[in-house]
Structure 1
């Protein structure tokens, strides 16, 4: 359990869960979007659904054991998707034991009947960045995570718009190459298959880059090589940036966003990714109303899912 330097009195707290394929994180979050206390467990993603739920219950139990729990007014869940907000269920691609799993109901029971809101992880990132991050002053934004996958959420008209089932803004499965490789989603040439971390690392290796002895061959290592000028590493990030530019421009043409906020582990490469992305964007954002589109780094970092789940609990997400 990790506290802030100064914990508040407890007024206006909500509990938040951030469910992903590698970890289940929990937090108490105040009305200003500050994370007060954290808990987490590894996600037993290869196990059955009950085992995964037991891990989530342990995280929530850590929060319930705190004296501050008495001030908690609601619970928000941000989950890997797909999600179904209407049914309160989740079917994360990377948690096979949960298919149509009634997560909202299970959490409500564990939380003593408190109100529970469920959103997808992409919408959670959008909610976090719009509340306290890089989209704070924007009414129309796309907020993205580029990591082991590519996801996102939309802010339109000053509100987070998760869509009918909660999956709107799922930019990772926009096709940017009609003749590209098949995607596990069933499509072809999806931006996720070109811009996610493992795809960048694979592309660099195919073109001659090799990790240092003892290295894992990660996208972070490719980024370091790109900073040193390795041509295959530079080209791998350029390709990813171009794919992201095409997808972002498509979203801008459809819903007139004014800013694209990009976070996640791959975005930590900084200008290695952002420079080719911004350079490529004018090739795709050619319509007059898309030309002023800005691309900026996310600000909420690894807490984005928790802050966004809290935003949903506080009614800052439509639907």
Structure 2
């Protein structure tokens, strides 16, 4: 994890100690850039959000990040900010502070930590992949709490993940460990923007669930906007094409999860993100396919559950991870 400059939990809006230090958290993805000032109880004191500029060059995307930071800085409580935590779509290289998100083409080896440090006046900045951030949030006080070995995933515009092994986050040397979205599960499958073929993300992400349904003749109910959520709505109504698209996504997820569990012996998988909001439309076929892939005795009892931290998990996890990396006094991760 990259730290530059000098030396959170439940996603709520409750302040704790009015004088305690705060962490400025950033959650950067392919569709949105969110920010918050987070206190030591996980309370969100102030929030800001901008859409990620589609197809924007590096400067344009960074300008949106700076707008979010500027909105946080305009709050009087910014003076209590002790550090900045960033959870970014990956891959990231936390060892040098750069990001190259697959879904943000304007950023390739972009020195995000350096730019953010400049924007926040030299506060220490810690960078992790968004999957790691979500794992931090869910393990701290979410669905993976109490488990020493877990895979926490986000299935949304992309598919990412983070690992907890032996009771601690395991980000790996560059902050990308657990990036399940780019495990190949279909060797002759469609090309993925990462350069490989048949990646979990290319099959199971929201845009690809939608793409596959449309390619097979699906149309939304009642003239609704064509989205993955609309495909889920059609699946609930029994549309066979919509059901098949979710089933294919679930199969890809199951194959990637089983491979991961076999390698590192995880005991629980927590899945969040927009696609997970489909509920049993996703989880029922996922558990069914997983039973066919996770067959060895030490993975056959693997639990798969929905995330409970909601859409703020990335922010809460970025804050919690920064507090841990920087050892901030007053932030307990227990």
TM class, shorter-length: over 0.9
Query: Which residue does 2:114 correspond to in 1?
Result: 105
Match of 1:143 among 152, 163, 187: 152
Question: What pairs up with 1:156-195 in 2 under 5 angstroms?
Answer: 156-195=165-204
Query: Which residue does 1:255 correspond to in 2?
Result: 264
Give the secondary structure class of the aligned counterpart of 1:169: coil
* CA distances 1:173-211 after superposition (whole Å, capped 9, x unpaired): 111122222222121211112211122223333444322
Give the 3 Å change call, closer, same or farther, for CA 310–47 of structure 1 in structure 2: same
Question: What pairs up with 1:1-319 in 2 under 5 angstroms?
Answer: 4=13, 8-315=17-324
Give the secondary structure class of the aligned counterpart of 1:142: strand
TM-score, with length taken from structure 1: 0.93
TM-score, with length taken from structure 2: 0.89
Shift of 1:236: 1.6
Give the secondary structure class of the aligned counterpart of 2:24: strand
Structure 1 residue runs without a partner (length 5+): none
What CA distance in whole angstroms lies between the structure 2 residues aligned with 1:130 and 1:255? Answer: 17
Instruction: Answer whether contact 1:196 1:266 (CA < 8 A) is retained.
Output: yes
Shift of 1:251: 0.5
What CA distance in whole angstroms lies between the structure 2 residues aligned with 1:37 and 1:180? Answer: 44
Shift of 1:220: 1.0
Instruction: Answer whether contact 1:159 1:317 (CA < 8 A) is retained.
Output: no
Give the secondary structure class of the aligned counterpart of 1:286: coil
Shift of 1:226: 1.2
Give the secondary structure class of the aligned counterpart of 2:298: helix
What CA distance in whole angstroms lies between the structure 2 residues aligned with 1:285 and 1:5? Answer: 41
Give the 3 Å change call, closer, same or farther, for CA 290–23 of structure 1 in structure 2: same
What CA distance in whole angstroms lies between the structure 1 residues aligned with 2:149 and 2:97? Answer: 27
Give the secondary structure class of the aligned counterpart of 2:259: helix
Structure 2 residue runs without a partner (length 5+): 1-11, 328-334
What CA distance in whole angstroms lies between the structure 1 residues aligned with 2:77 and 2:177? Answer: 34
* CA distances 1:17-74 after superposition (whole Å, capped 9, x unpaired): 1112222111011112232211122222433322322221221122122221222111
Query: Which residue does 2:332 correspond to in 1?
Result: none
* CA distances 1:278-311 after superposition (whole Å, capped 9, x unpaired): 1111111111100110000011111111111101
Aligned length: 316
Shift of 1:10: 4.0
